[in-house]
Chains A and B, each alone.
Chain A
Amino acid sequence: MIRIVPLDEFDPKLLSALAGSLYAAFGVGAEVLPQLGVPDSLPRPYNPTDLVAALPPVDSFPDDRILFLTSRELQPRALPSGSAPTYGLSHYDGRFCLLSIASLGEIKADNIRRLTRFAMQEIGHAYGLHHCLDPRCAMYAHWTKSFPTGDAIFCTFCREKSEQRIRQVKA
Chain B
Amino acid sequence: MQRCESSAILTTMSSPSFAVGDTLIYPNQGLCRITEIKSEEIAGQHLRFVTLIISETGARVKVPEHKMLKNGMRAVSDRANVDEVFRFLISDSARASLDWKKRTRDNTARLSEGGLLRLAEVIKGLQELSELRPLPPKERGQYDDARHLFVGELAAALKIPHANAEDALDITLFPVGSERPKRGIEEFQDLLEGVDDDLGDLDTADVDLPDENEAVDSDAQDKGDEGGGEEGPLSAPTTVAKSPRATAKKRAAPRAKKAKTSAAEAKKAPATRKKPATQPKKRSPPKAAPTSKSRARTKKSK
Binding site for B on A (CB under 8 A): 49, 77, 79-85, 89-93, 125, 130-131, 133-135, 140-141, 143-146, 157, 161
Contacts and interface: CB of A to CB of B under 8 A. Distances in A.
Instruction: Point out which of A84, A130, A145, A157 has the most chain B C-beta atoms below 10 A from its C-beta.
Output: A130
B294 to A, nearest CB: 64
A134 B180 CA distance: 10
B143 A79 contact: no
Given A133-B143, A145-B179, A81 B168 contact: yes
Contact of B171 (A79, A92, A135): A79
B117 interface: no
B113 interface: no
B240 interface: no
Contacts of A143: 174, 176-177
Contact of A157 (B56, B137, B174, B178): B137
Given A143-B174, A161-B144, A79 B179 contact: no
A157 to B, nearest CB: 5
B215 interface: no
Contacts of A92: 151, 161-163, 166
Given A91-B163, A92-B162, A131-B170, A84 B176 contact: yes
Contacts, number: 84
A85 B144 contact: no
B158 interface: yes
A141 B179 contact: no
B171 A81 contact: yes
**Chain A contact residues, majority secondary structure:** loop
B147 interface: yes
B176 A81 contact: no
The 8 closest A-B pairs by CB, nearest first: A92-B162, A141-B174, A79-B168, A84-B167, A133-B130, A81-B168, A82-B171, A143-B176
Contacts of A131: 147, 166, 170, 174
B168 A130 contact: no
Nearest to A157: B140
B164 A79 contact: yes
Interface in B52-107: 56, 82, 86, 89-90
Interface string B154-187: 0000101111101111111110111110000000
